[in-house]
Amino acid sequence: MKVGKDLMAASAAPLVLAILAEGESYGYAIVRRVRELSDGELEWTDGLLYPLLHRLEDAGHVSSRWGVSDTGRRRRYYEITDRGRSELAEHRRQWAAVAAALQAAWHGLGDAVDGTMRPGLAL
């Protein structure tokens, strides 16, 4: 399954903020965590992640610092700010409303892929 660009874009900031709420991280680790959380359904590129991280930093939702990895390589580490935590809470409220509306709309539709009618289709 391929996730569309609009859905990918809409979910990117809340995903990054949620990942950073788990603790400080760096670009490649964030991409790896997104892949893990989505069971491989979301494949992010540097072209998606780094502009997003810069926008989040400009908005005051994340901060960054240069550090050195265990292998001695320079790496930029990102951390969620208090403002970012508030933004994440707002994203969670909004996504819960969207998920509830979709759940209600899809209730009883069944699985459109195989044409069966099974009540209670989950998101």
pLDDT at 112: 60
51 within 8 A of 40, measured Cβ to Cβ: no
117 within 8 A of 106, measured Cβ to Cβ: no
Question: Which pLDDT tens digit goes with each residue over 67-121?
Answer: 998 899 999 999 999 999 999 999 999 999 999 999 999 988 876 654 555 555 5
The two structure tokens encoding residue 48: 């998606």
The average pLDDT across 25-48 equals 94
pLDDT at 34: 97
Q: Name the residue ranges covered by the structural domains of the chain.
A: 5-81
How far apart CA 52 and CA 99 sit, in angstroms, is 23
CATH of domain 5-81: 1.10.10.10
The two structure tokens encoding residue 72: 């001695």
The average pLDDT across 38-52 equals 93
What's the mean per-residue pLDDT of the chain?
90
How far apart CA 47 and CA 79 sit, in angstroms, is 20
pLDDT at 119: 53
pTM of the model as a whole: 0.84
